[in-house]
Amino acid sequence: MLGRATYGVVTPLSKAALVAMLLCGTAQAETLELVALGDSLTQGYGLPEADGFVPQLEAWLRADGLDVDVINAGVSGDTTAGGLARVDWSLQDTTDAMMVVLGGNDLLRGIDPAVSRENLDGILTAADGRDLPVLLVGLSAPGNYGAAYKRDFEAMYPDLAEQYGARFVPDFLGPLTEEGDPSGAMAFMQSDGIHPNAEGVARIVEAIGPEVAALLREDVGADDSAAGRPADGG
């Protein structure tokens, strides 16, 4: 019973109980969890925390109406092997999707692309085993290792994305190149010439954000329930 009633009239206490029941019964959209598995580019190396890739991406997605927490699983210096070693504990039961931004340190060390491919394959296998949708983000290789290295390194990303049905962005740092001029990217890089500055991160997020949003809306089935919310969810 909802409460005591006299001659068919619901008492004030019963009205309050009814309202509480209705409120409790209203479906509440759950906050999604997106794990960003990566290296220093994901971790936000050299930047104040708020200017890093993950906080800027989360703010962009929330401004776009998505109720999502982006988990920073970026570790500076990590190779694809490091990502593979920690993917299982980076993905939790609460994880709804994953984006992978790895390979930059493989490039810096000249690791055989066949080894990098095998590691990325293992990461995508782990996600596939959990039935998690994935966005795989590639990188462009410099030409100093030779044409064959560049070809094999860059090809592994679209090949694996197709194999696993993952979404794909060709080049994480691509948005920093203005009108195809590589020298234009330096204005958006830190002094080390490797990591983007805050403005560079913002450009990357603007370019990648729509693909991440599509991952969450179309592959996860997210509702647009965060419109108007502050970026910190408060």
Residues noted as catalytic: 40, 192, 195
The type of residue at 205 is V
